[in-house]
Chains A and B, each alone.
Chain A
Amino acid sequence: MFDFTGLSNAVIEGDNDQVQAKVNEAISANVDPLAIINQGLIGGMNVVGQRFKVNDMFVPEVLMSARSMNAGIELVKPLLAGGEMTNRGTVIIGTVKGDLHDIGKSLVGMMLECSGFKVIDLGVDVSPEEFIAAIKENDGKILALSALLTTTMLSMKSTIEECVEQGMRNDIKVIIGGAPISQEFSDQIGADGYAGDAAAAVELVANLLQ
C-alpha cells in the first residue's frame, strides 16, 4: 500500500519538484494511476480547499498548489486508459451581458478548476446566446453567472429564460454570485443556487452535481 502523505503534502506546499519526485516514485512502484491522482494529488488539493475556506491559505498559495497538482497529473496522464480522466463536471462561467467585472468570476473559476472541475470561462459581457452555445459545445453541467452591478443582475434572469426557451433548463444547474446578489434574488429568478464567495461556490457546485 503506497503512502500518499508525502505527495499530498507536496501539493499543499505547492512544491513542484517534490510533487514530480513523489509521482515518479509512485509510478515506479506500479501504483494505480487513478489512485495517484485521486488519493495523492486531489487529496492534497482537498486539504488546500479546506484551508482556504477557513482563511488559512491565500489565493496565490492555492494557485501554487494547483500548479503543482497539474504538474503531477501531466506525469500520470500518459498512463491512463482513454477517457479515464478526473473531470468532476464541466462548468460554463462568465459575467453577464452589460457587466465588465472580471476578477471575482475568475477567482471562482480558478477555485473550481483547483477542485477538479473543467471550467470554460467565457469572460465578461456574455450574452445569453453565447452561454447557450458554450453549454451545447462543451456539454456543460453547471452554468455559473456573475454580476456586480444592480443594472446587470436582471441579465441573469434573461439567461435562465433563454435556457428554458432552448429546452435545456432541466439539463443544467444555474448558480449565481456577485456583490449585489442574494439567495432571495436567486430564488426570485429561478436559479439553482447562490454562493457568497469562491469557496462556497465550489461546495455548491459539488452538491448540485452529486
Chain B
Amino acid sequence: MASLQFNELAYTNLDEFIYGHAKKPVVCSNGMVIGGGTVYPEVNLTLPTMLIDTETMPKVLSQYEEMIHGICSKAHELLSPGIIIEIELLPPCTFNPQWGIDVTKVAKGVMNEYYSKFGLKSLLRMTVVDIREGKTLTHMYKGEHWDNVIKTFRGCAEAGADFLAIESIGGKHLHDEAVMNCDLPRALFSLGVVGCRDMAVLWDEIVKISTETNCIPSGDTACGFANTSMVMAHKNFIPKVFAAIDRVMCAVRTLVAVERGALGPDKDCGYEGVYLKAITGIPISMEGRTAACAHSSSVGNISACLADCWSNESVENVRLLGGMAPTVYTEQLIYDCRLMNVASARGFAHEMRDILSESDRMYDPQAYILDPGVVIKISQEIVKGKTHFERTKIAASATIKELRSAFQDGLLQLDTKELKYLDIFEKQLKLMPNDEAEFTQFMIKNSTLDKFDPAKYDFNFNAVAK
C-alpha cells in the first residue's frame, strides 16, 4: 500500500481554510458530503452505569436502540440536513466482536428506519476500542487481542457502519511516562518512532477492510496521548505548554492514518485534526464547548474554526430535565451547526471563524495552537521533515518557537512557570541526537519492558539504523 508523504500543504491560503469546507471532501452514498460546505452534527453516546456481559447484552442493545431513536427523532424534528452518530465501542464489545457487531446492527437499523420513514440522512461511525494492552497481551499484531480488533472492524463494517475509526494506542505507555515526567524526548520516541510505525501496520489493515466492505476508513486520534496531557494540564498537574507541544507532535502520528489511506472525517477528540486538514485537505470532526459533558477544555470555541463535523465527545444515557442526555446534546449540536452554516450562507464565515478563534486563543497555549493561521504556519514547518521522527521533532521545536513569540507579542498569556518550562523543553530538544537510530538506541536502553517491549511490536532496530 502506498504511503503518502504530503510534502506540501493542502492549504496555503488562510481564506480557504475554514469550517465546513475541506479540499478533499468525503462524499457518502446517501448524498451527504462531509467538508462540502455544510457542518454536520456528530453525536457520540455511551451507556449509563451498567455492566456488559452475556446476561445484560439484551439491556445493552435496548439502551443503544433508545439512544439512537432519541437522536434521530430530534434530528428529524429540527430538520437537520443530516446527522452523524458515533459509537465508541466499550472494551467488552471488542473483546467479544459479536457484541460490537450487534450494537452496529441495532444502531444502523434505527437509522435506516428514520431514513425510510422520514428521509433523515445519517451516517454511523463505529470506533473500535484499541484493546491491545494489559497483562494478557502477547503481541500487537497477532494473537487474541489483535484478532478481536480486526474481527470487530470487519464485522461492524459488514453490519452497516459508514465510517471506521479507532483511538489507537501503540506506544501509549511510553507516552504516559513522558507526560508524568514532562519528558519531551520520550514523548517524541513514543509518537514519532513507535506510534507512527504502529499506525502504519494498523491502518493498512483498517483500509484493507474498508475497501473490501465498501466502508470509509475515517481516521484516528491522539486521545490516549495528547488528551491525557490535556486533562493533566487542566488539573494543573503538568504545564499547559507541554500539552500544547504534545498536541502538535501528535499530529504527525495521527497523520499516518491518512498516509495509509484514511479519508476522513478525522475523529472528534483528535484536536490535532486541524493540522491534518491543513496538510492533507481531509475533513475533520471537532469538539469543544459541547463536549463539556465528557471533559473540560480550554478550546471550547476555537476548536470549531475548522470543523466539518461538530461533536460532543461522549455523553451517557442519563435523564436531564430536557430529556435523555444524548437527545439533549443532539439539539445543542444542531443549533451550533445551524449558526455556523447560516454565517457561511450569509458570507460571514470568516468573521465567525475569527470570532471563534479570538474568543479563546489568548488564554491558553492549547487554544493558541489551534488558531487557523498558527496551524498553517506550524504545518509548513512540519512537512519539511523527511521522516516521521524528523517531523515530530520539528513539530515540537516549531511550537515552542511559536508560543514564545506569541507571548512576546502579547498574543498569548503565559505565567512564569509556563515560560520556565518552555526553556526546559527547548533544552531537552537541543540535547537530543538528530540521528533517529542513535536516538532510538538510547531510548530503548532507557526504557523498561513494561513500558515498551520491542518484540511485541516486531520493532526492528536494524531497519531504523538503516
Contacts and interface: CB of A to CB of B under 8 A. Distances in A.
A124 B237 contact: no
A59 B47 contact: no
B337 to A, nearest CB: 27
Nearest to B235: A197
Nearest to A110: B180
Contacts of A60: 180-183, 238
A102 B173 CA distance: 9
B426 to A, nearest CB: 16
Interface string A95-108: 00011101100110
B268 interface: no
A60 B90 CA distance: 31
Interface in B203-255: 228, 232, 235-239
A207 interface: no
Interface residues of B, number: 32
Nearest to A155: B51
A97 to B, nearest CB: 10
Interface string A104-140: 0011001000000000000111000000000000000
Say whether chain A's binding surface is mostly helix, strand, loop, or mixed: loop
Nearest to A55: B236
B52 A151 contact: yes
A106 B451 CA distance: 13
B49 interface: yes
A50 interface: no
Interface string B83-127: 000000011100000000000000000000000000000000000
Interface string A136-151: 0000000000000111
A130 to B, nearest CB: 9
Contacts of A153: 49
Contacts of B417: 58
Interface string A177-199: 00110000100000000000110
A150 B326 CA distance: 15
A150 B135 CA distance: 22
Contacts of B131: 100
Contacts of A103: 176, 179-180, 228, 232
Given A63-B180, A100-B91, A151 B47 contact: yes
A59 B52 contact: no
A100 B89 CA distance: 13
A99 B237 contact: no
Contact of A98 (B48, B91, B179, B232): B91
Interface in B14-50: 46-50
Contacts of A204: none
A27 interface: no
A154 B180 contact: no
B352 to A, nearest CB: 32
A171 to B, nearest CB: 26
Contacts, number: 76
B358 interface: no
A22 B90 CA distance: 52
A77 B437 CA distance: 40
Contact of A100 (B52, B133, B239): B133
Interface string A16-58: 0000000000000000000000000000000000000001001
Nearest to B180: A59
A12 to B, nearest CB: 15
B316 A150 contact: yes
B85 to A, nearest CB: 18
A151 B51 contact: yes
Contacts of B90: 149, 151
Interface in B43-75: 46-52
Contacts of A98: 52, 91-92
A185 B49 CA distance: 10
A169 B237 CA distance: 34
A99 B51 contact: no
Contacts of B183: 60
Given A59-B238, A60-B238, A124-B133, A150 B180 contact: no
B134 interface: yes
A154 B49 contact: yes
Contacts of B52: 98, 151
Given A99-B91, A100-B134, A150 B176 contact: no
Interface string A149-171: 11111110000000000000000
Contact of A59 (B48, B50, B51, B237): B237
Contacts of B133: 100, 102, 124
A59 B231 CA distance: 13
A93 B48 CA distance: 25
Contacts of A102: 133, 173, 176
B236 to A, nearest CB: 4
Contacts of A152: 91
Contacts of A124: 133-134
The 9 A-B residue pairs with the shortest CB-CB distance, nearest first, are A55-B236, A60-B182, A59-B237, A125-B134, A150-B49, A103-B176, A154-B51, A60-B181, A151-B90
Given A59-B180, A100-B131, A103-B232, 18 more contacts: A58-B238, A59-B237, A60-B182, A60-B238, A63-B180, A98-B52, A106-B176, A106-B180, A110-B180, A123-B134, A124-B134, A149-B91, A151-B47, A151-B52, A151-B90, A154-B50, A180-B49, A185-B49
7 contacts: A98-B52, A98-B92, A106-B176, A107-B237, A150-B50, A151-B52, A197-B235
Interface of A: 55, 58-60, 63, 98-100, 102-103, 106-107, 110, 123-125, 149-155, 179-180, 185, 197-198
